[in-house]
Amino acid sequence: MTPDVDLLVAGGGPVGLGTAIMAAEAGLRVVVVEPRPGPIDKACGEGLMPGALTELQALGVDPPGRAFHGIRYVTADGARSAQARFRHGPGRGVRRTVLQAALAERAEAVGVRLVADRVDEVIQGSDSVEAGGIIARYLVAADGLHSPLRRRLGLQRPAHGQPRYGLRRHYVVEPWTDLVEVHWAVDAEAYVTPVADDLVGVAVLTATRGIDLDAWLRTRFPSLGVRLVGAGPLTAVRGAGPLQQNVSARVVGRVLLVGDAAGYVDALTGEGVAVGLASARAAVAAVVADRPEQYESSWRHATRRYRLLTRGVLAVSRSPLRRVLVPAAEALPPVFGAMVDSLARA
């Protein structure tokens, strides 16, 4: 088979488009295949850490949003809190639809072809891969948390432990702080991200399925519920999960998995975009070098800090130490500050 393009990207979300931009800027011919029209919304925290924002700006993408300057942990009743400010510039709250639109515009500007279609069957040869009616030298699967391509390739592995789920909704209210707030209840966390001058996104992570988000904000997070009194919801509740996704390998022949498709621990540390772009850069480097086998080790190196930190915080949150997490952060500002700084540099 004679390749039509160098790289076919399955999935037109932020990480898929970021992969395409990186590849096009490296001189590759790139096609992105995505079946869903227009900017795609999904349940996510929408907070770009400073490292992720810097990475996007390096790609020529600077989406509008609302700056935030650090992270605050708060007990559900609001009685205790700890905060730390970023040391090397702000992050930015950006609606996912806005981010995807900005990335799509940039992708087209650098010569990426966007195709409205679906990638189902994948046929691999010795020097090419065919999918979606397109023959490419390589295929990158960026088709999300529950990646159909990952399953078709036999790379999905069972997750262990209690599954976690996320829900998100936007509320029309002026942000009351220039920080991202994480409210800790006994069985859930609520993340509040300013995304515009009159809008906040609220995401709840929990092991409980089928919750009533607004009711939980009133009962599980009373101090946050008070903040949202009179704030009209702008969007419907969106959900995602189970969050943990285990993968046996990130590369099979000429197919490489990036972003959430490559495996996921939890949304607790809010590093999805930063980690996804790091995996994209490693995948593009492997494709440019024509050495797909190097991607597995590159992926592990690029995501190691995220995986260790997220698993560590998740383990604490599932233990009896959860109830003292916020007081401990309040009592140990240097430790909390170091953790926040690590997140910021992701």
Is the C-alpha dihedral spanning 23, 24, 30, 32 positive or negative?
A: positive
Judge whether 210 lies within some domain: no
7-30 pLDDT, tens digit per residue, is: 999 999 999 999 999 999 999 999
Judge whether 236 lies within some domain: no
254-300 pLDDT, tens digit per residue, is: 999 999 999 999 887 777 888 999 999 999 999 999 999 999 999 99
Judge whether 197 lies within some domain: no
- DSSP for 127-183 reads S-EEETTEEEEEEEE---TT-HHHHHTT-EE---S---EEEEEEEES--S-SSEEEE
State the total domains in the chain. Answer: 1
Question: Cα(345)–Cα(85) distance, rounded to whole angstroms?
Answer: 13
Domain range for residue 298?
Answer: 5-63+94-160+243-316
| pLDDT score for 224 | 96
Residue 1 has pLDDT above 70, yes or no: no
Q: What percent of the chain has pLDDT over 70?
A: 99
- CATH, residue 31: 3.50.50.60
Judge whether 342 lies within some domain: no
Lowest mean pLDDT, pick from 41-55, 61-75, 220-234 = 41-55
Bridge partners for 171 per DSSP: 200, 233
240-264 pLDDT, tens digit per residue, is: 989 999 999 999 999 999 999 999 9
In 3D space, the residue among 61, 62, 58, 17 whose CA is nearest the CA of residue 39 turns out to be 17
- Does the pTM exceed 0.85? yes
Is the C-alpha dihedral spanning 174, 177, 183, 189 positive or negative?
A: positive
Judge whether 279 lies within some domain: yes
Judge whether 237 lies within some domain: no
Query: Residue type for 148, please?
Result: P
Question: Cα(30)–Cα(126) distance, rounded to whole angstroms?
Answer: 20
As a whole number, the mean pLDDT across the chain is 93
Higher-pLDDT residue of 305, 56: 56
Judge whether 306 lies within some domain: yes
Q: What's the CA dihedral at 156, 158, 163, 164 to 10 degrees?
A: -20
193-208 pLDDT, tens digit per residue, is: 999 999 999 999 999 9
Judge whether 190 lies within some domain: no
